[in-house]
Structure 1
Amino acid sequence: MRIAIAGAGAVGHSIASELLDGGHEVMLIERSTENYRPKSIPGIEWVLADACELASLEEAGLQSCDVVIAATGDDKVNLVVALLAKTEFAVRRVVARVNDPRNEWLFTDAWGVDVAVSTPRMLAAMVEEAVNVGDLVRLMTLRQGQANLVEITLPPDTPLAGHRVRDLELPPDAALVTILRGGRVIVPQPDDPVEAGDEMLFVAAAEMEQRIREVVHGR
């Protein structure tokens, strides 16, 4: 898969390295000569250009990319990159970094964003996940708010212990996608048992989150 990343700062640089290790073809677009370091990641195509300029993106061949990641430290730049990628180059998937949580409401399909990743919100969610056993924690919003990835860790006194996955009366528009147990990642099957301490990940519509809480707590 061919992936373009706008912004070669610490975040963009790290993403590029990970994607290259995953076997993808990566192009890194950077306008600052300070961050333009082609020798730092061999095997990546580097472009010294302003990703907000249409002509620069055309010259870089953005139309040949399957995914564009707007990963700069400036939310305004990320929105412009996302909009150009989607509207001018018909890029199939656009992911944008949100630096200021107050700007999250802007990162929607109206600006060409398919997936918005808010680092501050994700860090806060990780903290909640670590300290709030038994509480539902929203990890990520998917498809512009149509669904969320949520997590709940079953407490020691959970009434679900010993029940099978098929016994969970989940509401519509909600699905249990993974159970993390110790060092294992379990793709849940109907007859798999549920245990205290299980970290359960669901994809669900926002209005179904309260129903999931009730199911998990046996209400």
Structure 2
Amino acid sequence: MKVAIAGAGAVGRSIAKELLENNHEVTLLERNLEHIDVDAIPAAHWRLGDACEITVLESLQLETFDVVIAATGDDKVNVVLSLLAKTEFAVPRVVARVNDPRNEWLFDENWGVDVAVSTPRMLASLVEEAVAVGDLVRLMEFRKGQANLVEITLPADTPWGGKPVKRLNLPRDASLVTILRGPRVIVPQSDEPLEGGDELLFVTVSEVEDELRALLLDPTAR
């Protein structure tokens, strides 16, 4: 996969290293000469330039990339790059970093963003996920499809204990993607029995989250 990352600060470099370790081709675009350090990540392609300048993006041949990641520390830059990547270069996947949660409303498909990643929001969600047994926690939003990654931790005394996954009559547009049980990551099979304390991860649309919550956490709803 060919990936362009705008912003070679700590975040951009960390992403680049992870992607390179997974054998992806990575280009780092940075407008600050002081942040250019080829020796730090020699396997990446380094380019000096402003990610908001369309001539710079043309010189990169951005239309040939599979993914663009707007990872600068400036939300204005990230939004503008996302819009240019999607509308001018038809990049299939655009991921944008949200630095200020007050700007989250901008990072949607209208501005070319497929996935918005807000560090403060994610940290808050992870805190909730760690302590919120018996509730639904939204971990991430997938803007393009208006779908969410949500987590539900079953209480120890869940009535679903011992019942197989196939007994779950999930609402439409909700899919169980994995079960976290202690150190185990379980790909849900139809005959896999549920247990109290299981962390269930779903991809679902917002409209059925309440129905999903009721199904798994409200005994009177079944």
- TM-score (normalised: structure 1): 0.97
Structure 1 residue 185: Cα displacement: 1.2
1:4 and 2:10 aligned: no
Structure 1 residue 144: Cα displacement: 3.7
Counterpart of 1:53 in structure 2 is: 53
The Cα offsets for residues 113-155 of structure 1, whole Å up to 9 and x where unpaired, read as 1111111111000000111111110001113462111001111
The share of aligned pairs that are identical, in percent, is 67
Counterpart of 1:177 in structure 2 is: 177
Aligned residues of 2:5 and 2:71 also touching (Cα < 8 A): yes
The Cα offsets for residues 165-192 of structure 1, whole Å up to 9 and x where unpaired, read as 0111211111111101121111111111
CA separation in 1, counterparts of 2:129 and 2:45? 38
CA separation in 1, counterparts of 2:157 and 2:145? 32
Point out where structure 2 has 5 or more consecutive residues left out of the alignment.
none
CA separation in 1, counterparts of 2:136 and 2:34? 43
Counterpart of 2:21 in structure 1 is: 21
Counterpart of 1:62 in structure 2 is: 62
CA separation in 2, counterparts of 1:134 and 1:35? 45
CA separation in 2, counterparts of 1:200 and 1:130? 13
CA separation in 2, counterparts of 1:39 and 1:62? 24
Aligned residues of 2:7 and 2:72 also touching (Cα < 8 A): yes
- TM-score (normalised: structure 2): 0.96
RMSD: 1.0
Point out where structure 1 has 5 or more consecutive residues left out of the alignment.
none
Structure 1 residue 47: Cα displacement: 0.3
CA separation in 2, counterparts of 1:34 and 1:77? 18
What is the identity, as a one-letter code, of the residue corresponding to 1:50? Answer: D
